[in-house]
Each structure stands twice: as C-alpha cells, then as structure tokens.
Amino acid sequence: MKILVTGGAGFIGSHLCERLLAAAHEVFCVDNFITGSAENIEHLKGVNFHLITHDITQPPAVFTENNSAFKVDQIYHLASPASPVDYREIPLQTIMTNSLGTKNVLDLAGRLCVPFLLASTSEVYGNPQEHPQKESYLGNVNTLSERSCYNEGKRFAEALAYNYQRHFKFDLKIVRIFNTYGPRIRRHDGRVIPEFIRCALEGEPLQITGDGSQTRSFCYVDDMVDGLIKIMSVEEKEFVGAVNLGNPQEVSIKTLAEKIITLSGSDSIISNAPAAEDDPQKRCPDISLAAEKYGFAPKIGLDEGLQKTIQSFKK
C-alpha cells in the first residue's frame, strides 16, 4: 500500500514509518522539521521511502486538486508540535498546524476517500475531573492558556475531521494518544521523560514543576505504534468515535524522577519549581475500547521502557 505519514520525521512518526516500511508498504513522509529531524529518518532512506519536505499549513503542492498523480491508500496525520515547551515557544505554528494544516490534509483524504487517522491527544480532556479518562468524558479545557494552542487546536482538529467524515464518508480514526516516550524523542524536547533522563545522565538536578504529586501514564513507543497500526487496519463502515491509546500504568512525577535516577545510576538531586499553568493533575487512560475492539494491549512496562530509553540516550 501507499501510505502518507505527516510528521513522519518526528518521534512517533519515524517509528511508524519504520514499521510500515518493514511491512513492505511504500511510505510518503511529509515534514517541515520544525520539531522533527533528518537524523530520525536517515536509516529509512530507500526506494519505498519518499520524503516530502513541506509545511502542511502552506499552499499544499502535493495536496492540490490538480495534482491527481498524488494518490495514497491511507493517511496517518501526526504533524504537530507536541511538547509543552513548544506550546510556549511556537504557539502559532502549533495552532495553525492543527487547524489549517489538518484542513489541508483532510482535503486530500476527502478527495481520495481513504482511511484517515488523526493523532489526537489526551490533552483534549484538559485538567480532567473524571479519572481514569474514558472517551465519553468531554474535558475541562481552558481556551485562554499557554496550552490552548495545542489542546484547543487538537479539539478543533477532531471536530474538523469529524465533519469532513460526515461529508466525504471516508473511514476516520481519531486516536487520543496519552504520554508516549522512547528512543528518538528529542533530547531537549522539554517533555518530562527526555528532560529527566538528560539531566540524570548529565548530573544536573531533575526539576519537578509543582509538588510532584501530579500523575501521568506513560506508553512505550513500540506499543503506541502497534496500536496505531491495529486501529488503521480495521475497516469501519461507520465512525466509531475517538479511541484512547496509552499505557494505564499511572505514576506520580516524583516517583518517575526517583525511578530515572535509580535506573540511570545517577547522582543527580531532585529540585522543585513552581507549578505550571493549567498543568493536568491526573492523567490515566481507560483503554477498554482499544483493548476490546482492536486487541490493543501494551506490553512494555515503565521500568523496561525507561531502561531502553536511557540506553538510547547514552548512545
């Protein structure tokens, strides 16, 4: 099959491209490298891998009506900055990629009428008042905060995709991805796992924002990619609604910091900084829908996944 992956040079996208190529598909990776890197996809170069360097918010050469030569059988739409540090530094690129950029990619899905997977996020639940989060929970999101370029951007992307699907009737999969980590996540990404591992390996303090009692549930990237491919592989006649993907093993940020110090054999200390604005206090996916409908079952626990990630950072 010919498969388009937007954001294919990013962390999750590069692992996805790798797995699709290993399954003998032809992959078209669209990326503008704003948060991805050429290094992530260097090893993928070959006859079945096509890199299209392009900003999806810009007039879309490959997506235009008159470029009828550009045909694919499936679209995975992953392009979007994904770190809270990015939301602070590049808010406009973040919100425009999720709105205008998503629209441009959806135009292609509508024209070709092919399965389209939107990489949405647990951030659509905001600072959740329901725990764990089921897909039916409608969220608690602040439109006017540093995170809104991302969480409201993704909420709009979901609504846009849903309405394109109602109009064009293509097979839409909206996947709400919970915190995912693993090799190739940017070293200076700012997200908690790469940041804590980098600091632990460089002997710097691991800085906890807030008191560290806030929780997250971390999924290893191989499990996430398994889930994305499983969901894409099931042909749906009707839209089934959003699906959570993640690992429900929940941990406090304080415990995470201690674990990373132990697993990396570091002498780093833990320090504290003021809590971040609108930082979700609890996050854990209810994955029963993904498990029952798609046979999703994350296999790699936090300790094992952290060890693999620490090893990759050491290299």
CB-based contact 223:48 (threshold 8 Å) = no
Distance CA 279, CA 310 (A): 25
CB-based contact 119:98 (threshold 8 Å) = no
Q: Is 87 a catalytic residue?
A: no
Element (H, E) at 30: strand 26-31
Is residue 211 near ligand UDP by the rule CB under 6 A? Answer: no
Burial pattern 165-187, b for ≥16 Cβ within 10 A else e, equals beebebbbbbbbbbbbbbbbbbe
Query: Which one, of 79, 98, 68, 81, lies nearest residue 29 by Cα?
Result: 79
**Catalytic residue selected from 76, 87, 150, 294:** 150
Q: Which residue has the tokens 């003021």?
A: 274
What is the closest distance, in whole angstroms, from the C-beta atom of residue 203 to ligand NAD in the complex? 26
Is residue 34 near ligand NAD by the rule CB under 6 A? Answer: yes
Backbone angles phi, psi at 135, to 5 degrees: -65, -25
Sign of CA dihedral 48, 54, 57, 60: negative
Choose from ligand NAD, ligand UDP, none: what does 279 bind? Cβ within 5-8 Å by kind. Answer: ligand UDP
Contact pick of 4, 12, 72, 106 for ligand NAD (by CB under 6 A): 12
**Residue among 119 and 172 whose Cβ is closer to ligand NAD:** 119
Contact pick of 155, 173, 176, 191 for ligand UDP (by CB under 6 A): 191
Q: In the range 231-270, which residues lie near ligand UDP by CB under 6 A? A: 253
**Residue among 101 and 227 whose Cβ is closer to ligand NAD:** 101
Query: Which one, of 66, 64, 94, 65, lies nearest residue 79 by Cα?
Result: 94
Distance CA 48, CA 25 (A): 7
Is residue 128 near ligand NAD by the rule CB under 6 A? Answer: no
Contact pick of 21, 27, 36, 183 for ligand NAD (by CB under 6 A): 36
Distance CA 13, CA 3 (A): 12
**Residue among 16 and 253 whose Cβ is closer to ligand UDP:** 253
Taking CB under 6 A as the binding criterion, the range among 46-54, 69-77, 191-199, 258-266 that sits at the site for ligand UDP is: 191-199
Is residue 44 near ligand NAD by the rule CB under 6 A? Answer: no
What is the closest distance, in whole angstroms, from the C-beta atom of residue 306 to ligand NAD in the complex? 14
Distance CA 109, CA 129 (A): 34
Which residues of this protein are in contact with ligand UDP, per CB under 6 A? 84, 179, 191-192, 195, 207-210, 214, 216, 253, 276, 279
Report the interface residues with ligand NAD, using CB under 6 A.
7, 9-13, 30-36, 55-57, 78-82, 97, 101, 119, 121, 177, 179-180
